[in-house]
Chain A
């Protein structure tokens, strides 16, 4: 992977456009893919681009985009978390249980975020200080969280959620709250990662930990913080996930971790660490949601749906590789 070393982010001298193009190459490709998808499918099936369908696409998948923000930071720092799906299942159950037990709703919203940060901080400590590879820690954590959740709940559903708890069904200025969460958190995280010393240190730790250490970054403490922040986003995602419907299943959503990791890496976050943005991961989450929706609109036989999805992921990744080749 020799060309990985050549940063796609180096400043081009030929003007603002190419600078943006080289800094946000993958984001632009995905944005183009989204626009193209909406244009083509919208022409064939006009209802696809109706406001209600756009809302459905954004609302139903906002929690994936939010979780992918934290996941992107973890991957940029050179790690991974395969337990995030189980974590969201556990946190959603905690949140719903508190809401039904009659605690004030803000407690039911806040506690899962705090618990999420606590759990991922433990992961962070094991990764940074005890030096166990993150995939090992989180593979183990996946089993622990999933088994623990089933032991605790037996899969009993949580029903009778109080209406004022269902934050994902609130609207502000006519726009559903998950869309606000997705947009604000993505933009805030993107700005924070570019313009603060800590944000930049995430890239430094992922790009070259030794160089980061020489440059005075406390690599271990930074890694734990990154995992804690990831836990915060997982907690927010869990609350959005829990409050979207009037029932919480108390189970681990199938394949959620794969969906979230795919959104991050297709969004341009390098699995080798050091590069990528959270804007890319959010756009990728939207793209996947739109693809899923469009396949129904295009009457693709449901039997072939997953192979089409696989081909599209592959196409996106190959396009990105071709672009990086040209840059380097």
Chain B
């Protein structure tokens, strides 16, 4: 009886699983991809009307002191500690913003929604968020807009009409191109590689993997994807998974992509401890401090990342400009303090810039 039930459940699961569409690479999402040109010519810019939301009956906040709450995916991790630092920097510089960061202790859609809901009730002027899920967060953000609160996202977007602006650290296809190009350069055009990601349900990582698959198929068709493994946001698990990949494929494995700032240093450590430096290339998203030992030892050639401190800084500046009314729907750029003018793209997104590539020559200059 029990065995039958389990068997039935398993068969059922397999069947319904197969019924879903398959992506090229495990871990990518199913959304349409838009790979950049191989030689780096920027894609045709399609101008798009403002598609963000508008707060209802927002009071005039121009020049007045505002309270802002920042609700990242989760608190207590290095990446969002860095964005918080940037938000505080901008708040201090602006002088008329009272900003604090609060959020769930695990990347959980339910808890994040509860936090935002509580802050709507407590009556803040502005909300900054990094969404755990673009759709799940939308109802509560719309509620915030309806309460006259200014809402700006960063790092991970929500559906556009649920927020006013989104500060985009780098476009998905841009990141994908940087990563794949770096891997092709370091490991060779016919390299076989594997991917270590956080979880398959993390939207940004899933998007990057899908864009990477599309870009590799277009521009580096001989590169061979072997597999994608999950490692949560856990550095010891990332290390174990990367070590297993190295042991499994032996000489066949020429490169490992780290899709998170946790996975990349852990993969580099796995390659170092396996004495495979120089034989297995590590390319990925990471923060400079964690990567310094590997870059200085030449085990890792280059690290791709935007500066998360700048990202938080820009998000705060954009929120202030929105509250002041200086950033209106239809604007083409926004002044963001020390970062200068930032471009508005894709209707209601503000682009932080191109992804930055750290290497041995410049990694020492960064401290985050």
Contacts and interface: CB of A to CB of B under 8 A. Distances in A.
Given A53-B247, A60-B236, A146-B105, A251 B17 contact: no
A299 B235 contact: no
Contact of B234 (A149, A250, A253): A253
B248 A47 contact: yes
A3 interface: no
Contacts of B106: 254
B81 A53 contact: no
B300 to A, nearest CB: 13
Contact of A52 (B200, B234, B235, B247): B247
B81 A246 contact: no
Contact of A302 (B229, B240, B274): B229
Given A146-B105, A150-B105, A155-B80, A254 B229 contact: no
A208 interface: no
Interface string B101-144: 00001100000000000000000000000000000000000000
Interface in B265-295: 265-266, 269, 273-274, 287, 289-290, 292-293
Interface string A203-242: 0000000000000000000000000000000000000010
Interface in A62-77: 63
B240 A61 contact: yes
Interface string B222-263: 000001111011111101110111111010000000000010
Contact of A156 (B81, B200, B229, B247): B81
B235 A245 contact: yes
B78 A155 contact: yes
Contact of B78 (A156, A244, A245): A156
Interface of B is mostly: helix
B69 to A, nearest CB: 16
A18 interface: no
A314 to B, nearest CB: 8
Contact of B236 (A245, A246, A252): A245
Contacts of B274: 52
A102 interface: no
Contacts of A63: 236
A135 B75 CA distance: 26
Nearest to B194: A296
Mostly, the A contact residues are: helix
A296 B245 contact: yes
B269 A303 contact: no
Residue with the greatest number of chain A CB neighbours at <10 A, chosen from B80, B227, B244 = B244
A61 B6 CA distance: 30
Nearest to A294: B244
A153 B76 contact: yes
Contacts of A169: 273
B148 to A, nearest CB: 31
Interface residues of B, number: 47
Contacts of B243: 56, 60
A247 interface: yes
A244 B235 CA distance: 10
Nearest to B272: A246
Given A155-B75, A156-B78, A157-B289, A296 B229 contact: yes
A159 interface: yes
Nearest to A153: B76
A307 interface: yes
A154 B81 contact: yes
B77 interface: yes
B26 interface: yes
Contacts of A311: 6, 10
A245 B269 contact: yes
Contacts of A249: 77-78, 234-235, 262
A297 interface: yes
Contacts of B250: 47
B84 interface: yes
A253 B236 contact: yes
B13 interface: yes
A316 interface: no
Contacts of B6: 311, 314
B229 A244 contact: no
Contact of A155 (B81, B239, B246, B247): B81
A303 B17 contact: yes
A302 B265 contact: no
A303 B20 CA distance: 13
Contacts of A250: 76, 78
A262 interface: no
A-B pairs, top 7 by smallest CB distance, nearest first, are A150-B76, A155-B76, A53-B247, A60-B240, A56-B243, A157-B78, A155-B77
22 contacts: A53-B244, A53-B247, A60-B239, A60-B243, A154-B75, A154-B76, A156-B81, A157-B287, A157-B289, A244-B236, A245-B236, A245-B239, A247-B235, A247-B265, A249-B77, A251-B77, A254-B233, A254-B234, A293-B240, A293-B244, A293-B247, A297-B248
Given A159-B292, A301-B26, 6 more contacts: A147-B105, A155-B80, A251-B77, A252-B105, A254-B234, A292-B240
